[in-house]
Amino acid sequence: MFGLDYSWLSDPAYQQWLLKGILNTIELAALSSCAAVIIGLVGALALTLRIFWLDAIVELFVEVFRNTPPLLQMLFAYFTLSTLGLKVTDPSTGLSVPLLSAFACASISLSLFGGALAIEAFRSGIETMPRSIIEAARSLGYSRWSRFWKVEAPIAARICLPALTNILTNLFKTTSQASVITVPELMYYAGQIYNDTFRTLEVMILVLLIYVSLVSIVTFAMARLERWMAFPGYGKGH
């Protein structure tokens, strides 16, 4: 069809590569997404405590990891940390080897990058809380903590869901950059396949479709979550 040649797909080696690539992409995305959400929650909670030095630490973290390209972070973690001394001695060979594997470097830097963005998303949810709601809770006699957990947090979670969806889909796509530090994910294998077969267009189209499908699963799940959590007066609730 359209003169596209997909005969290379019958090669079991390429099938295996694609499968391995997809699995590694999913693993990397799932791991860093979970970690990013956890970092985001912890960071945003820390900000609500209004402790001067804690605020400074969280803000510094956000500035550093949000304002640097994830590609640079990965390269830094992969090549520079071991030079700075993050090494262990391999008991089987007696050689000094870097502590962090390529996969570890990629998942850590993606988690921190996504985490920094998530902190800001959650913070925006908490800070855009209408004053009237807080005042209403206060006048009903809620303490500071129960006000946060029973009134502010549930509303904030719903407000920041769309922003979180954006962050998670972006994080998913950013996993493709891990091929630069040799994490054998989808793009890593795709590049090798089109270099072998000269079928660049065909490989690109297939990889594009795979990414669209995988990311669609994430956005679909998030949309379902949003609908399930919706309550009257906010977002999709009627």
Partner 1 sequence: MKAAKLFASTALMALGLLTAGSALAGTLDDVKARGKLIVGVKNDYAPYGYLNDKGEIIGFEVELAKYVAKELLGSADKIELVPVVAANRIEFLTAGRIDVIFATLGVTPERDKVIDFTTAYVSSPGPAVMMAKEATTSKWEELKGKPVCGIQGSYYNKKMTEDFGINLVAFKTQPEALRALRDNRCVGFVFDQMTLDLKVQEADWTGYKVAVPTYEYLPMAGGIREGDKAFQEAVDKAITKAEAEGKMIGWETEFNIPHAEYIAERAKAAKAKLN
Can you give the binding site for partner 1, defined by CB under 8 A? Answer: 13, 79, 82-83, 90, 95-98, 102, 179-180, 182, 188, 191-192, 195-196
What is the smallest separation between the CB atom of 107 and partner 1, expressed in angstroms?
17
| Helices assigned H by DSSP within the chain | 12-48, 52-66, 70-75, 81-83, 102-127, 131-139, 144-147, 153-159, 161-174, 186-197, 200-229
What is the smallest separation between the CB atom of 215 and partner 1, expressed in angstroms?
24
1 neighbors 170 (Cβ within 8 angstroms): no
Give the separation between CA 90 and CA 64, rounded to whole angstroms. 32
Would you say 95 or 133 has its CB closer to partner 1? 95
Would you say 92 or 132 has its CB closer to partner 1? 92
CA distances 40 to 28, 125, 140, 230, Å, are: 18, 12, 30, 21
Would you say 191 or 235 has its CB closer to partner 1? 191
What is the smallest separation between the CB atom of 82 and partner 1, expressed in angstroms?
5
Would you say 22 or 119 has its CB closer to partner 1? 22
Would you say 41 or 104 has its CB closer to partner 1? 104
Contacts of 111 (CB under 8 A, 6+ apart): 31, 32, 35, 36, 39
What is the smallest separation between the CB atom of 214 and partner 1, expressed in angstroms?
22
Would you say 170 or 197 has its CB closer to partner 1? 197
Would you say 81 or 215 has its CB closer to partner 1? 81
Give the separation between CA 108 and CA 87, rounded to whole angstroms. 17
Nearest alpha-carbon partner for 113 in 61, 176, 177? 61
What is the smallest separation between the CB atom of 83 and partner 1, expressed in angstroms?
8
CA distances 225 to 164, 218, 221, 236, 238, Å, are: 12, 11, 6, 11, 16
What is the smallest separation between the CB atom of 31 and partner 1, expressed in angstroms?
20
For 186-211, give the DSSP string: HHHHHHHHHHHH--HHHHHHHHHHHH
Please provide residue 96's backbone torsions phi and psi, each rounded to the nearest 5 degrees.
-85, 120
What is the smallest separation between the CB atom of 79 and partner 1, expressed in angstroms?
6
